[in-house]
Amino acid sequence: MGLLDDRVAVITGAGRGIGRACALTFVREGAHVVINDVDPEPLAEAQAACEAVRAGSATTHVGSVADRAATDELMKLAVDHFGQLDILVNNAGVTRDKMCHLMSDEHWDLVVDVSLRGTFNCIRSAAPYLRDVAKAEMEHHGRPIYHRKIVNFFSTAAIRGNPGQVNYTAAKMGNVGITRTVAQEWARFWINVNAVAPGFTNTRLTQPKSKGDELGVPEEQRQATLARIPMGRFGEPEDIANAVLFFASPLSDFITGQELNVSGGMQIP
Ligand SMILES: NC(=O)c1ccc[n+]([C@@H]2O[C@H](COP(=O)([O-])OP(=O)(O)OC[C@H]3O[C@@H](n4cnc5c(N)ncnc54)[C@H](O)[C@@H]3O)[C@@H](O)[C@H]2O)c1
């Protein structure tokens, strides 16, 4: 018996890092997953890793969460391929760091479109399969048959504020607003909406950055962050995936509109 037996999950940005770890964790717990990413190659690797755990457990969708047509297609794929949609994990995110006075419109728009609009797009595109299905169950059975789940992402860096990330921190805190609002709008349909804030976690976003790299964090800043983590290590994608699993599973059926920091005890702010 797994915590997610008979459940179907869409996980965005699941080609790498935390999203991929969520996909593998969910498959190990019995779920079927539709994994999305803009990059087809890592996505195919993630699918192969899921299939190695359980054949037939994963299908892929290539497209951007910033594009409403793509998110409509993504949610429909879950239902066409696996028959239903129960869990949505809004993990996709990007960074393009610059101090506020140097931030370009292009980098503001990219980060906000992926990390904030992407969450909104996915939730709206999932509404027919989460909200409307639960509503029909209420009409037939007096209540929804089970809880459906949305897990959003924000960031401890966003809670604290982080020099060089005005676009990212604004987008990520916007996800807290979405979480608290949709949690209230959809509680009567037994759709739980919660959010996780990873602390500094070992992925492509936080790898040591050399001059000219688009992604990553300068080594000096990595070490300063490490010194603030009482547990003395960075997070691993699996640490975050375990918290996402909690919010995706029946263990959290009476919890909604909440945020959880997964940061090795780092005090915020
Ligand atoms: N790593 C950390 O320390 C950390 C800390 C706080 C929050 N987060 C958040 O965790 C989430 C996962 O980040 P990660 O560290 O695993 O990063 P990552 O770069 O390893 O993985 C993110 C994935 O999202 C994909 N992606 C980018 N744009 C996309 C789009 N428009 N549509 C669909 N997919 C897209 C990327 O191709 C990539 O595979 C993000 O929301 C990030 O902001 C990470």
Per this entry, what is the length of the chain?
269
Please, what's the b/e burial string for 91-111 (b: 16 or more CB within 10 A of its CB; e: otherwise)?
bbbbbbbeeeeebeeebbebb
Catalytic residue, chosen from 26, 82, 129, 168, is: 168
Closest listed residue to residue 123, CA positions, set 43, 53, 177:
177
Q: Which of 168, 173, 205 to mutate to test the pocket of ligand 1 (most atoms within 8 A of CB)?
A: 205
Residue 38 near ligand 1, beta carbon < 6 Å: yes
Nearest CA to ligand 1 atom 32: 64
Whether residue 122 contacts residue 71, with contact meaning beta carbons closer than 8 Å, is answered with: yes
What percent of the chain lies above the pLDDT cut of 70?
Answer: 100
Whose tokens are 């909440």? That residue is: 258
* Per-residue pLDDT at 214: 82
R_g of the chain, CA atoms, integer Å: 18
Greatest alpha-carbon span in the chain: 60
Determine the distance separating the centroid of ligand 1 and the alpha carbon of 149, expressed in angstroms. Answer: 20
94 lines ligand 1 (CB under 6 A): yes
Distance 19 CA to ligand 1 centre (A): 7
d(C-alpha 258, C-alpha 269), whole Å:
18
Choose which residue among 62, 88, 94, 120 to substitute to test ligand 1 binding: the one with the highest number of ligand atoms within 8 A of its C-beta.
94
The pLDDT, as a whole number, for residue 268 is: 78
Separation of alpha carbons 26 and 35, rounded Å: 11
Peptide bond just before 237 cis, omega within 30 deg: no
Q: For the chain, give the mean pLDDT.
A: 97
What is the whole-number distance in angstroms between the Cα of residue 117 and the centre of ligand 1? 14
Quick check: 83 pLDDT over 80? yes
Q: Is the CB of 39 under 6 A from ligand 1?
A: yes
Q: How many angstroms is it from 256 CA to the middle of ligand 1?
A: 23
Domains of the chain, each with CATH number or no CATH: 8-202+236-261 (3.40.50.720)
Q: Which residues fall within 8 angstroms of residue 228, CB to CB, at 6 or more apart?
A: 266, 267
pLDDT digits (tens, 9 = 90+) for 120-131: 999 999 999 999
pTM of the model: 0.98
- Confidence band for 213, pLDDT divided at 50, 70 and 90: confident
- Categorize the per-residue pLDDT at 267 as very low, low, confident or very high, splitting at 50, 70 and 90: confident
Q: pLDDT tens, 38-52?
A: 999 999 999 999 999
Q: Report pLDDT for 239.
A: 98
Which tokens is 78 given?
């879950």
DSSP state at residue 62: E
- Residue 188's alpha-carbon distances to 167, 241, 251, in angstroms, are 33, 27, 18
> Catalytic annotation on 129?
no
269 C-alpha to ligand 1 centroid (Å): 23
The phi-psi region of residue 16 (left if phi > 0; otherwise alpha if psi is between -120 and 50; otherwise beta) is beta
pLDDT per position as a tens digit, 56-79: 999 999 999 999 999 999 999 999
Q: Whose CA is closest to 166, among 102, 210, 209?
A: 102
Q: Is 169 in the pocket of ligand 1 (CB under 6 A)?
A: no
Q: Are 95 and 149 in contact (CB under 8 A)?
A: no
Matching residue, tokens 């987008």: 171
